[in-house]
């Protein structure tokens, strides 16, 4: 049995109750087995997909205080230079990973260190891969300061269908790269803002695997 995100038990309970009611109704109201059984199988497939979607995979982490690992599964959609006017107040290198409906949506600390900043921002729900989504969508911002003093700011962005972001960050918390930091429910995006001298290890179009893909090396 896979480990399921602890903040998703309620969501999964609702999904299984709806599926059970659907299957019961189909079983009693649809006489044709050629229609009934495909619909029942479809309901079970949907339930299994939801279990897959909300699972927390057990992975070997490559991240550390110097190595930044991906905080999410998905496709790298942006690698650029970006000015952060929220907390860092300086030019950064930015790597954005887009999670679609088939990616695991559990998120993980990208680097080891201490939480020095955290803020939740309410906002819109545009498609998460659009550039303006980073500024206008509902999101969280969390900054980790490593032992060497480097600061890595990462943002969980809600997408068109995402309506709940969970992050366990609290200022002063010590965190370890690769441990779960939260979850974004349904299509969404993760932005990682890095020092300008960071050595980026991914490019647009690459597929990133949380904990296992090296995003950047800090100097």
Concatenate the DSSP letters of all residues of 121-140 into one string: E--B---TTSTTHHHHB-EE
* Residue 66: CB atoms within 10 Å: 16
Written as six digits, the tokens of 98 are 């887009």
Beta partners for residue 99, in sequence order:
188
CA distance 209 to 109: 13
Half-sphere exposure in the Cβ direction for 1 (13 Å, CA): 3
Q: Would strands 74-84 and 207-208 be described as parallel, antiparallel, or unpaired?
A: antiparallel
Contact indicator for 99, 203 with CB cutoff of 8 Å: no
Which distant-in-sequence residues (6+ apart) come within 8 Å of 110 by Cβ? 63, 68, 69, 70, 71, 144, 152, 154, 177, 192, 215
Contact 52, 8 (CB under 8 A): no
Question: Which one is catalytic: 112, 134, 141, 188?
Answer: 188
CA pair distance 181, 70, nearest whole angstrom: 12
Does the annotation mark 8 as catalytic? no
The residues that are catalytic are: 188
């Amino acid at each position: 049995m896979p480990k399921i995100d602890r903040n998703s038990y309620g969501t999964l309970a609702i999904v299984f109750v709806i599926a059970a009611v659907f299957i019961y109704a189909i079983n009693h109201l649809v006489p044709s087995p050629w229609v009934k059984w495909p619909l029942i199988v479809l309901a079970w497939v949907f339930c299994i997909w939801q279990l897959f979607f909300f699972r927390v995979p057990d992975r070997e982490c490559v991240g550390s205080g110097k190595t930044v690992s991906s905080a999410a599964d998905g496709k790298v959609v942006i690698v650029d230079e970006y000015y952060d006017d929220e907390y860092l107040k300086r030019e950064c290198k930015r790597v954005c990973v887009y999670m679609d409906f088939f990616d695991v949506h559990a998120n993980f600390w990208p680097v080891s260190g201490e939480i020095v900043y955290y803020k939740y921002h309410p906002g819109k729900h545009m498609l998460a891969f659009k550039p303006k989504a980073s500024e206008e969508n509902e999101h969280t911002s969390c900054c980790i300061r490593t032992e060497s003093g480097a600061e890595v700011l990462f943002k969980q962005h809600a997408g068109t269908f995402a309506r709940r972001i969970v992050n366990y960050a609290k200022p002063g918390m010590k965190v370890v790269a690769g441990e779960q930091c939260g979850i974004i429910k349904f299509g969404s995006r993760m932005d990682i803002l890095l020092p300008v001298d960071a050595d980026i290890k991914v490019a647009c179009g690459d597929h990133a695997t949380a904990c296992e893909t090296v995003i950047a090396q800090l100097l």
